[in-house]
Amino acid sequence: MELNITHPPEPKIERITNLVNRIQTGDIKIPKFQRGFVWEEDQILKLLESIYQGYPIGSLLFWLSEQKMISEKNVGGFDLPPTPEKYPRNYVLDGQQRLTTIYGVLNWPDKTMLHKLNVYFDLENRKFIHFNGEQLDKHIPMSILFKTPEILRYRTILSEFSNANELQESVDALYEIFREYLIPVVTIKEKTVEDVCPIFERINSTGTKLNIFDLMVAATWSDEFDLNDKVDQIRESTKLKDFDNIDNSVFLKFMSSINGFGSKRDGVFKLRNLSSEQLDKLGQTVKSSAERAIDFFSTELRVPSDAFLPYENQLVVLAYFFSKVANPTPAQLSALRRWFWQTGFSERYRGAVEGILEQDLSAVDTLINGNTNAMDLRISLVENDILKRQFWKNSAFSKTFVVMLANHAPRNLTNGETIDIRVALTSFNNKEFHHIFPKDFLKKLGVISEKRNAIANICMISAAQNKNISNDPPSVYLRKSYDMLAKDGDMVFKSNLISSVSNAPWRNDNYDAFLKQRSAAILGRILALCGVT
């Protein structure tokens, strides 16, 4: 990769007063991202104390750009003065909270209002305090510090006190400290949105991670379109209520791929070239196609919520399909089902995914054009892969495995009752996933933790029944259950992919043999779902 060092960042040292003036004149703009001003009162006071003590407060990072982006009209609770629209301008990429605090405290408009940015300085105790409703003469409002007429009137009031000289010296010291305090400022020049985005995403100095969605909110904004509002509208759809934790960046992939730009970053950046009307119309298409994709997950695959969606990119691919196909054929739906199981069990999106996602979107086009095998992937799982696999509820493989169990219409092992899959899965409670050989029982046998948590040792069972089983060995509770179920025993055990034959390994608590036998049954089910014969 060629390194562009034509215009490296330029570090400068600037006074607080100069930075405040640049905000007031519109030279510095605070981009309007979704997080706003989030600092609490103690953070504000600590920053002011650091300045007063001469401690460093970190550098600010600006982006000097011709790109028009939405910026804050309101900072920390009060309106900024109107400024002429001029370009280029400096957008704050890092230091928003610190700069907002400094500007807000020094410009707070109402000295008698209870607000976290209405800060006073106690001249006698030399400490910063928030206004608490009682205005004392020996407490100077920070908002008048650089307003000459007001500071002169305040000094006149102080002259009436017996320790006037000491108080006025305290004012002078406060003024000088803030007037002379220097802050390092780094300015990135002549960079495109594409160039700035990687820098932007790595900024995390305030604990709030910023990403491409935040940048695109500002880059696509106009009076007629707000990406944040559009995504909120999509999320508010009742059909999306159980999938409302989908990452914002996924919606950008929806929009970009559906519009024909592809799902990669360069395609996403092209969205800013669309008009407000085009973006709004595209948002409506995304909403309807996402609803149809989620309906497919819910009804065809029994995935009840995003908690059990192996990969968010699966949603991108299905939304792309449903944006193009109004009435899918049975063959197309069958191909999509196979693809879901194949991507989940092969952990297709585990690593670098941009290229892979593009391949799958291209395969969708081929599927639409009549090739029903276009989306099929090679599955090379063998029995040993299942045998060694552990159950981790947040892994894509485990999520796919649980959805597979749900699709097999499991019945409670202890009483044969049908398990309410939606209740069981939506709760996402570990207790709903039962270790067939109880963990404590295996621990007593000396079985290591990793092996106790083998995925082949997991089945679905209601929480209440799980408590009833406790730590009983399978040879006790499963035999008791099988005998109680009578003629339904074979069917109930089969629904959980557990052998019920007379020499089944659980009957004599043979854990190794049980894992091997159930891994084979799980593998057979996986291969069938994936269309491997």
Q: Is 78 helix (H, G, I), strand (E, B) or coil?
A: strand
Task: Give the separation between CA 52 and CA 206, rounded to whole angstroms.
Answer: 21
| Helix, strand, coil percentages for the chain (3-state, nearest 5) | 55, 10, 35
Residue 36 is given by DSSP the state: -
State residue 464's pLDDT score.
Answer: 63
Task: Give the separation between CA 335 and CA 330, rounded to whole angstroms.
Answer: 9
Please name the residue that has the structure tokens 């399978």.
474
Task: Give the separation between CA 297 and CA 406, rounded to whole angstroms.
Answer: 13
Nearest by Cα to 194 from 267, 144, 106 = 267
In residues, how long is the chain?
Answer: 533
DSSP 192-215: -HHHHHHHHHH--TTS----HHHH
What does R_g of the chain's alpha carbons equal in angstroms?
A: 31
Q: Which residues of the chain have pLDDT under 50?
A: 1-5, 34, 205-207, 428-430
The strand pair at 182-189 and 60-65 is best described as: parallel
Rounded-to-10 torsion of CA 205, 208, 213, 215: -40
- Assess contact for 465 and 412: CB atoms under 8 A: yes
Q: Is 270 helix (H, G, I), strand (E, B) or coil?
A: helix
Rounded-to-10 torsion of CA 300, 304, 307, 312: 40
Nearest by Cα to 142 from 116, 121, 167 = 121
Query: What phi and psi, each to the nearest 5 degrees, are found at residue 266?
Result: -65, -30
Instruction: Please state, in angstroms and as integers, the Cα–Cα distance from residue 341 to each residue in 228, 331, 335, 346, following that order.
Output: 33, 16, 10, 8
Nearest by Cα to 508 from 450, 437, 447 = 437
Rounded to 5 degrees, what angle do the CA atoms 331, 333, 335 make? 70
Task: Give the separation between CA 516 and CA 192, rounded to whole angstroms.
Answer: 56
Reading the block at residue 212, the tokens are: 């491409």
Please name the residue that has the structure tokens 């149809």.
292
The one-letter amino acid at 441:
F
Q: Is 527 helix (H, G, I), strand (E, B) or coil?
A: helix
State residue 203's pLDDT score.
Answer: 63
Write out pLDDT tens, residues 79-106: 666 766 767 888 888 888 899 999 999 9
- Assess contact for 458 and 430: CB atoms under 8 A: no
- Assess contact for 527 and 380: CB atoms under 8 A: no
Task: Give the separation between CA 60 and CA 48, rounded to whole angstroms.
Answer: 16
State residue 34's pLDDT score.
Answer: 43
Write out pLDDT tens, residues 26-40: 888 877 654 567 889
Q: How buried is 372 (Cβ within 10 angstroms: 0-12 exposed, 13-18 middle, 19+ buried)?
A: middle
The strand pair at 89-94 and 60-65 is best described as: antiparallel
Nearest by Cα to 111 from 120, 102, 103 = 120
State residue 428's pLDDT score.
Answer: 47
